[in-house]
Amino acid sequence: MSKELTEKQQKIIDFIKNYIEHNSYPPSYDEIAKYFKVKKPTIFDHLNALQKKGYIEKKTYRARTIVIQDNIKQVTDKHPQKFPKVKDDCIAIPIVGKIAAGTPLLAIENIEGNLKVDRSIFKNADSFALWVKGDSMIDAGIHDGDLVIINMQPVVEKNEIAAVLIDDEVTLKYYQANANAIRLIPANSRFKPIIIRRGTKEVRVLGKVVGLFRKF
């Protein structure tokens, strides 16, 4: 590391370090921006500068993957502050909103928040959450406005409920497939199955539904 930190960059490093110590995972970009009362593009600029200087590593295609480099000696907690603390037995599951065309699933522009849940409920770190729109799966107990938890996996078994990306839209359906076509079956008799011939559209399994949260 050949370049020194600015005062603002030092404070951001201190915040990230303290957050990780308290929570066992790094803060989201939204949380950093909220703490410093600035917009996310400003935080992106600071983090990009910190990465170029070798103080952090960040992976933009995954949520909460800011890593403090181990060989940092200059970074010290010069400005002791009280940081928000979340119980160590919780994990943060990214909530995916509308997927921007051509971007990875967990790209920052697709993440609209995080759901914090106990590790004893969901242990799979490769999970994400989706808001349910419509009632095509109502007979499976999945209602409009529910938040479903998805285990990220490219393959599901026949008739498992899957999150499937069709072009740039996500749908939840029972999944069936053969050599000629993919069938996505709703759990509501008012809706017809979606049948997609192989090669006619871009279809990708994002994962399997493993949980559901609902507000009353």
Question: Which neighbouring-strand residues pair with 117?
Answer: 91
Torsion from C-alpha of 140, 141, 146, 149, nearest 10 degrees:
-60
Q: Residue 162: which of 207, 122, 119, 123 has the closest Cα?
A: 207
Q: Could you give the CA distance from residue 104 to residue 121 in angstroms, rounded to a whole number?
A: 26
- The dihedrals phi and psi of 42, each to the nearest 5 degrees, come to -65, -40
Residues recognised as catalytic? 136, 173
